[in-house]
Chain A
């Protein structure tokens, strides 16, 4: 981490206050590198060491009437891991205030969060830290942390807050807020799409998360296609969950245009749409990526498909959840952000572990979860038909 100053006002993102000339901002090493690469020479005119303020670094202190500044760049799934702690703070400390900072793309995912009082942009204005009673930053808590290889992510973040043992197991789940406008649009979209079965009951809609941020954690497209086919064959509707950046995957799926498939990713401009879409699902199958954590926030039945590291490190506290863990002899490798591993396919770049999964078993598990967790009177578990 370091402090920087700019030689002029710099606009970071639309709709956000620009960084002002001469003010000090806190940046991570990764963000600093990005600025150096993307801004013209001379835009950053001062670089200073960032000195921690020990008396302000948060570690479980009483926040009654106090302000806590929290930040992490992203991704959206990692921000989900922080949220149970925010709820705990609000439930425990009267009149506490939470100021939350994250990267521009991710702010849409926390914009309507019930426990965040003020969303602040990155890079963090140093004045905000000076004004806050306490601060806590989470850059590198998973990426550069050996503990992350054997500690559940929620436990990691809970420990960082100083809340170990204080949050009940049922509350170690993500907390999300939904934009009312986006929810209204999503409800209509799903209502128009949903069909009824021969008994007049709503046919379930199962979401499939299209892509993780890196290919090494993503479900391979042929498996997505097979799962779609099996679900449709069993009379279940499918929603393809993602964003605009997932269009390339969507275009590879021959069943994407099927009448039983809703291409939600095409209607998702930012995370507000994705969250609203997931809130309308009856269950979700996905890779290690934000949709499964979002589904867990709404206590939807969820099936995670994992390879490089165990599902327990993410899903252990979720309700009505199953994790499929591929365990070749090279696992767990904990590769998270790189594109390929030593055993990735040389053409598709898909890792070998993702190829090990069985789409039929994954769908079977999803349908079992659906049947055994459904609150409405549901028929016997559907027998899987042959494709």
Chain B
């Protein structure tokens, strides 16, 4: 449990903090994934409008982002932040995240956790833009003596 620079209390999930309750405010009901993503989608659309205006625009966005993060829980929001950043502009993803840290909206620790998650293959594209994933081949009713070529992952 701790406080980030903006004074938001970060409480691990499952310990009765605000983000264990739903956005609807109903005690005991965590927001569904659809609700989470819908709220972040709306935010992303707003962000896309204002991100091109640096400075003041980002400050405005930072406040709203902080509110969402506080309600939705630490781990998910970092993952979703990455997704939003991808939607906004890929090449400015890192700058976007860094700016949020500078604004004090998210902790450096959370930011690093987000990058760790990406690198550990939670999202399809890493912070450097590499694709996470593999290709597999499945064989259907083929001769059993067929060898598997080198470089092919079999299911």
When distances are taken between beta carbons in the complex, the residues of chain B under 8 Å from A317 are 140-141
Other-chain residue from B134, B142, B147 in contact with A327 (beta carbon distance below 8 A): B134
Q: Is B145 an interface residue (CB 8 A)?
A: yes
Do B138 and A329 touch (CB < 8 A)?
A: no
Q: Is B64 an interface residue (CB 8 A)?
A: no
* Bitwise interface map of B from 127 to 146 toward A, beta carbon under 8 Å scored 1, else 0: 00001111111111111011
Other-chain residue from B122, B135, B149 in contact with A326 (beta carbon distance below 8 A): B135
The A-contacting residues of B in range 55-81, CB under 8 angstroms, are none
* Bitwise interface map of B from 101 to 128 toward A, beta carbon under 8 Å scored 1, else 0: 0000000000000000000011111000
A320 to B139, CA, bound (A): 8
When distances are taken between beta carbons in the complex, the residues of chain A under 8 Å from B139 are 321-322
When distances are taken between beta carbons in the complex, the residues of chain B under 8 Å from A322 are 137-140, 142
A323 to B137, CA, bound (A): 5
Q: A312-B138, A322-B140, A352-B124 are in contact. Are A328 and B131 (CB under 8 A)?
A: yes
Do B131 and A355 touch (CB < 8 A)?
A: yes
When distances are taken between beta carbons in the complex, the residues of chain B under 8 Å from A326 are 133, 135
Which stretch, A37-45, A60-68, A242-250, A358-366, touches the partner chain B?
Answer: A358-366
A250 to B147, CA, bound (A): 33
A342 to B40, CA, bound (A): 14
* Bitwise interface map of A from 324 to 363 toward B, beta carbon under 8 Å scored 1, else 0: 1111111100000000001100000000110111100100
Q: A320-B142, A330-B124, A342-B83 are in contact. Are A365 and B133 (CB under 8 A)?
A: no
What band does the interface of chain B fall in when counting residues whose beta carbon is under 8 Å from A?
A: 20 to 34
Our count of residue pairs bridging A and B at CB distance below 8 angstroms stands at 94
Q: Is A268 an interface residue (CB 8 A)?
A: no
Do A331 and B133 touch (CB < 8 A)?
A: yes
Q: Which residue of B lies closest to A341 (CB)?
A: B124
Do A319 and B131 touch (CB < 8 A)?
A: no
Other-chain residue from A315, A325, A330, A352 in contact with B155 (beta carbon distance below 8 A): A325
When distances are taken between beta carbons in the complex, the residues of chain A under 8 Å from B155 are 325
Q: Which residue of B lies closest to A369 (CB)?
A: B142
Do A352 and B149 touch (CB < 8 A)?
A: no
Do A325 and B138 touch (CB < 8 A)?
A: yes
When distances are taken between beta carbons in the complex, the residues of chain A under 8 Å from B124 are 328-330, 343, 352
When distances are taken between beta carbons in the complex, the residues of chain A under 8 Å from B134 are 327, 356
What band does the interface of chain A fall in when counting residues whose beta carbon is under 8 Å from B?
A: 35 or more
Do A361 and B151 touch (CB < 8 A)?
A: yes
* Bitwise interface map of A from 299 to 316 toward B, beta carbon under 8 Å scored 1, else 0: 000000000001110011
B153 to chain A, nearest CB (A): 9
A61 to chain B, nearest CB (A): 31
A323 to B121, CA, bound (A): 23
Do A372 and B138 touch (CB < 8 A)?
A: no
Q: Is B11 an interface residue (CB 8 A)?
A: no
Do B140 and A316 touch (CB < 8 A)?
A: yes
Q: Which residue of A lies closest to B151 (CB)?
A: A361
Q: Is B6 an interface residue (CB 8 A)?
A: no
Q: Is A255 an interface residue (CB 8 A)?
A: no
Q: Which residue of A lies closest to B118 (CB)?
A: A329
A234 to chain B, nearest CB (A): 14
Q: Which residue of A lies closest to B90 (CB)?
A: A346
When distances are taken between beta carbons in the complex, the residues of chain B under 8 Å from A320 are 141-143
A-B contact pairs, 25 of them (CB 8 A): A312-B140, A315-B140, A319-B141, A320-B141, A320-B142, A321-B142, A322-B142, A325-B135, A325-B136, A325-B138, A327-B136, A328-B131, A328-B133, A329-B121, A329-B123, A329-B132, A330-B123, A342-B86, A343-B86, A356-B133, A358-B135, A361-B149, A364-B149, A365-B137, A372-B142
Rank and list the top 3 A-B pairs by shortest CB-CB distance, nearest first. A328-B133, A328-B124, A321-B140
